[in-house]
Amino acid sequence: MWQRNQTFLADFILEGLFDDSLTHLFLFSLTIVVFLIAVSGNMLTILLICADARLHTPMYFLLSQLSLMDLMHVSTTIPKMATNYLSGKKTISFVGCATQHFLYLSLGGAECLLLALMSYDRYVAICHPLRYTVLMNRKVGLMMVVMSWLGASINSLIHTVILMHLPFCGSRKIHHFYCEFPAILKLVCGDITVYETIVYIISIVLLLLPTLFISTSYAFILHSVIQMRSAGSKRNAFATCSSHLIVVSFWFGACIFSYMRPRSQRTPLQDKVGSVFYSIITPTLNPLIYTLRNKDVAKALRGVMGREILTQRWQLQLS
C-alpha cells in the first residue's frame, strides 16, 4: 500500500519550452521581459483604479479584477518554468502540479465568465445610459465578480480532483511547460473516452456560452449605435467597446484553439503555442490595450506621473 501511494504521488517531469541553445536562451530572456511587462502592467492598472476616485465605478472594478486574474495567471506558470530552466531541473511535485492545474484552470474559467459579464456592463452603458447606476450598481458588480471566481473555482476543483485520481502509467513526462489539462490527460492509462467526452462538452459550454452572451450583447449595442444620430456619440460608443472586443478576441480565440480541438488533432507544439498566447501574450497585452485606448485610465496614469514628478522636484528644492 505504501509503495503504491509513493508511485501515485511521484513527481512529474515538465518538458519545458526551451533547450540550451543560444536561440532558445534569447527566447527565454524575451519571455522573462514579457513576463515582467505583464506583471508591472497589470499591477499598475490595479493600483491606478484603486488610487483614482474617478475610476471607482463598476466598469473599472471589473477591469481591476480582470487585471488581477491576468496577474495571477501569468504568475502561476512562468516562475516555475523559469526556475526549472535556470536550475536545469524539470521536475514538479504531484501536489505542485495539482495546485498549478487548479489555479490556471480556475483563472482561465473566471476570465471567460468575467469577460462575458463585462459585455453586459457595456450593453447597459450604451443601450440604457440613464439607468446605468441602477442596473450596474456596486452590488451587481460584486455579484458578477463572485460568480466568476466561485463558478470557475468549483469547476476547476472538480476536474483537478478527478484528473489527479486517474491512473498514470509509464512515463510521467508532461510535454508542456506547465501542468495543463490536455497534456496531463495524455499520461493517463486506461479507457477515459467517456470522461474526455464530458470534458469536451464542458469546454464547449464554458467557451461558447460566454461567446454567445457577448455576441448577443454586442448585437444590441450595434443596433443602438446605428440608431444614434450624432457622429460623436457613435465614436464614443466605439471607443468604449473596442478595448473589450480586442481582449475578448485574443482570449477566446486562443482558448478555442487550445481546448475545442479533438485530442487526435492536437500536437505538443500546437498546445504550447496556444498556451503561450493565452497565458503570456494576452495578460501582457490586456493592460496595454486598456491603458492606451481608455481615456480615463490614461488620464489617471498621467495624473499619477505628474504628481510623482512634482514630488521629486519639491524634494530636490528642499535638499
Q: Cβ atoms within 10 A of the Cβ of 259, count?
A: 22
Number of neighbouring beta carbons within 10 Å of residue 172: 17
Tens of pLDDT, residue by residue over 205-228, are 878 889 899 999 999 998 888 888
Mean per-residue pLDDT, 117-121: 93
- Nearest CA-CA partner of 285 in 256, 236, 248, 260: 248
Residue 51, Cβ neighbours under 10 Å: how many? Answer: 13
CA dist 89 and 28 (Å) reads 15
Q: What is the pLDDT of residues 8-22, one digit of tens each?
A: 567 899 988 888 888
pLDDT of residue 16: 84
Domain residue ranges of the chain, discontinuous segments joined by +: 12-296
Comparing CA positions, the residue from 70, 64, 76, 215 lying closest to residue 145 is 64
Give pLDDT tens digits for 44-103.
Answer: 889 888 888 888 888 889 999 999 999 999 999 999 999 999 988 888 999 999 999 999
The pLDDT, as a whole number, for residue 271 is 75
C-alpha cell at 220: 444590441
C-beta neighbour count of 275 within 10 angstroms: 23
pLDDT band at 315 (very low <50, low <70, confident <90, very high): low
Q: How confident is the model at residue 148 (pLDDT cuts 50, 70, 90)?
A: very high
Tell me how many degrees the CA angle 121-125-128 measures, rounded to the nearest 5.
Answer: 115
Please state, for a pLDDT cut of 70, what percent of the chain lies above it.
Answer: 89
Task: In whole angstroms, give the CA distance from residue 222 to residue 229.
Answer: 13
**CATH number for the domain running over 12-296:** 1.20.1070.10
pLDDT at 265 over 70: no
Query: Is the per-residue pLDDT at 258 higher than 80?
Result: no
Q: Is the pLDDT of residue 194 over 90?
A: no
Percent of the chain beyond pLDDT 90? 33
In terms of phi and psi (left: phi > 0; alpha: psi -120 to 50; beta: otherwise), the region of 190 is left
